[in-house]
Chains A and B, each alone.
Chain A
Amino acid sequence: MTTQRPKTLKDALQALDEAEAKLRNFEDDTRVLRAKATATSSEARFRMLAEGVPNHLLFLDRDLRIEFANNVFLQAAGWTAEAAHGRHISEVVGPERYLARQANYERALAGETISYESAGAAGDDSGFYRFTYRPSFDDSGQVRGIFSMAIDISERRKVELELEAKQAELLRSNKDLEQFAYVASHDLKAPLRAIELLVQWIVEGLNGYDVNNVQENLGLLGRRTQRLNRLLDDLLAYSRAGRKVGDYRQTNCQELVLDVIQLLNPPEGFTVSIDGQLPTLETFPTPLEQVFRNLISNAIKHHPGPKGQVVVSCEDRVTHYLFAVRDDGEGIPAQYAERVFEMFQTLKPRDQVEGSGMGLAIVNRIVQWQHGRVWLEPSPAGRGTVFKFEWKKRNPKASTTEKQACEAVNQ
């Protein structure tokens, strides 16, 4: 800038013009600088924010390539910022998940904010995450990319699943209770009513009022009392099935089944045998023994003839053993294959074959309690039935108890 005094008015005006122009330039420069400063601080603020959150945060451009990734994401994915830059999102989530989420990315690119929950994020395939895609607009209102945020909600999800499982369990036990109430009001009442009737007849008979056969009625009375007793016993056994389990220990099934056979003392003409060698496994022997006892005694009790054969066998199925109890009885028609496992269901009137109808219900409950299944099939020999049930090699209930014990020690 000249410090010379202007000699003429013309010179003075020119100097003024120059000064004005410089001032304008300076103002322009300031504006640019200020704008730059703002831009830097807003990016800095964004970065600070992006690194401050404990979640995965990405900025994806219109082609779904990573423009920015925060450290939480980079650490989870095991990439440097340079390695992540420019990668397509399908490389992050894998082709399958990309396909499943593609519609969501497209909607976000069309300007919509999307939120959804799904398993699997970068570096964590099993965790459960809540994803949010928020579009970012440029000055002209076009979507220039999307912010993608993934929040780890695995813990919440775990609690939710546990809650669902508990609710299902509650519903099941409620259903059990309802069934119990129904059964108590009918199956237990029926013999009681019969007893009431019989007593009345005997009294009237003794008074010479009626010609009923007192001897016969007394016999019926005794049988009904026994029936009622048995229903109550079996109902108790049912309610205890899977609750009072006793010890968890090494169990030789060969010995266990031989004991059951000896205890049941099959009538003459019946042979109960073991096909092959039954395994030794770690389990709760008491419920397993009850399952065998009920299945074998059922096979004998419902056999139509004076002679019969019951065969117990076992197959190794990696995670569990598949036990089978086969008989050569009259068989169970397919339409009753499920009903027989329900409480108090019999296929014959109790007056013909005395039974509570609880034996298979108890078996079903025990097997379900240890996460197995029981079902029946027609015997391959063309006559009789095969009951098959799965028994876990390691009891799931035992492992939970062990796990809980370990957790308790660690705390």
Chain B
Amino acid sequence: MRSGKPVTILLVEDDEVDVKALKWAFDKLKIANPVAVARDGVEALELLKTLARPFLIITDINMPRMNGIEFLRNVRASKDYHDSIVFVLTTSNDEEDKIAAYNLNVAGYMLKSDMGTSFTRAIALVENYWKIVEFPGVG
């Protein structure tokens, strides 16, 4: 059964307006879970070291230094976080990006352009996901 610990959300997103929009969606849905923000893949890998389980990652693709696909590759190759649950939320409608992301076992690939002017639908989906789905590696 689920442990009582709340799920931490790791947002990997370089655009401050999108970060704002996501946080606003959390507010609107009255989600009070802890949220950590990394500006690119390099920062996200650093943050992961300090993140308590259970956690869930929402990542953008196009970012400075290390993009989302490279970040995913690093996550899947790592000893400690290879089993992470990762959603992609991006402007990239590129078929190659989608294939690459699903090959790296993402839970879902969402387009920012499909979200209209708010991310509430995406965040509602992710919230439902963590409320219903069992997380790996939680004691």
Contact residue among B17, B21, B92 (Cβ-Cβ distance under 8 Å from A186): B92
B136 interface hit (Cβ, 8 Å): no
Cα–Cα distance between A350 and B16 once the two chains are bound (Å): 9
Contacts A193-B91, A193-B112, A193-B113 given; indicate if A187 touches B17 (C-beta within 8 A).
no
Could you tell me the distance between the alpha carbons of A194 and B17 in the complex, rounded to whole angstroms? 6
CB proximity of A361 to chain B, nearest CB, Å? 14
Q: Which residues from chain B contact A346 at a C-beta distance below 8 Å? A: 64
Which chain A residues have a beta carbon within 8 Å of chain B's beta carbons?
A: 182, 185-187, 189-190, 193-194, 196-198, 200-201, 210, 212, 220, 224, 336, 344-352
Contacts of B93 in A (CB 8 A): 185
User: With A and B bound together, what is the CA distance between A266 and B97 in angstroms?
Assistant: 41
Question: How many angstroms between the C-alpha atoms of A116 and B73 in the bound complex?
Answer: 47
Please report the C-alpha to C-alpha distance between residue A189 and residue B112 in the assembled complex, in whole angstroms: 10
Cβ-closest chain B residue relative to A357: B64
- Are B92 and A185 within 8 A (Cβ)? yes
A-side contacts of B92, CB under 8 Å: 182, 185-186
Contact sample, A vs B, 25 pairs, CB 8 Å cutoff: A185-B94, A186-B61, A186-B62, A186-B92, A187-B62, A190-B91, A193-B18, A193-B91, A193-B112, A193-B113, A194-B15, A197-B118, A200-B118, A201-B24, A224-B17, A344-B62, A347-B65, A348-B39, A349-B14, A349-B40, A349-B63, A350-B14, A350-B15, A351-B15, A352-B39
A197 and B62 within 8 A (CB): no
Considering the chains assembled together, what is the distance between the CA atoms of A190 and B21 in angstroms? Answer: 13
Nearest residue, chain A, Cβ from B19: A351
Whether B50 sits at the interface, judged by CB under 8 Å, is no
The answer, among B24, B40, B62, B117, for a CB contact under 8 Å with A190, is: B62
Write out the residue numbers on chain B whose beta carbons fall within 8 Å of the beta carbon of A352: 39
Q: Which of B17, B24, B65, B90 contacts A336 (CB 8 A)?
A: B65
